[in-house]
């Protein structure tokens, strides 16, 4: 997982490259992310003000086919 600080730094680098004329998808490619990931991170930053990875605290229901306790 990429830390929030690294995500924020990546967004800054991409924004700077884009301001100097680099195409967005090419700037993202240099850092090894897709432009879709860039847009998702940017949206999260604008909506919540944070770039934390929310997967560890996601609600995961128990699957219907879970094996019983032994």
Q: What percent of the chain has pLDDT over 70?
A: 91
Q: Which residues of 26-41 are buried (b: 16+ CB within 10 A; e: fewer)?
A: ebbeeeebeeeebeeb
| pLDDT at res. 70 | 66
| pLDDT at res. 69 | 78
Tokens 């306790």 locate to 69
What is the arithmetic mean of pLDDT over 25-47? 94
C-alpha–C-alpha distance, residues 45 and 60, integer Å: 24
């Amino acid at each position: 997982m990429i830390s929030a600080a690294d995500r924020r730094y990546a967004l800054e680098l991409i924004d700077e490259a884009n301001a100097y004329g680099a195409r967005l998808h090419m700037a993202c490619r240099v850092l090894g992310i897709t432009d879709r990931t860039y847009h998702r991170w940017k949206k999260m930053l604008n909506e919540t003000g944070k770039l934390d990875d929310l997967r560890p605290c996601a609600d995961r229901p128990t699957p219907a086919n879970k094996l019983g306790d032994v």
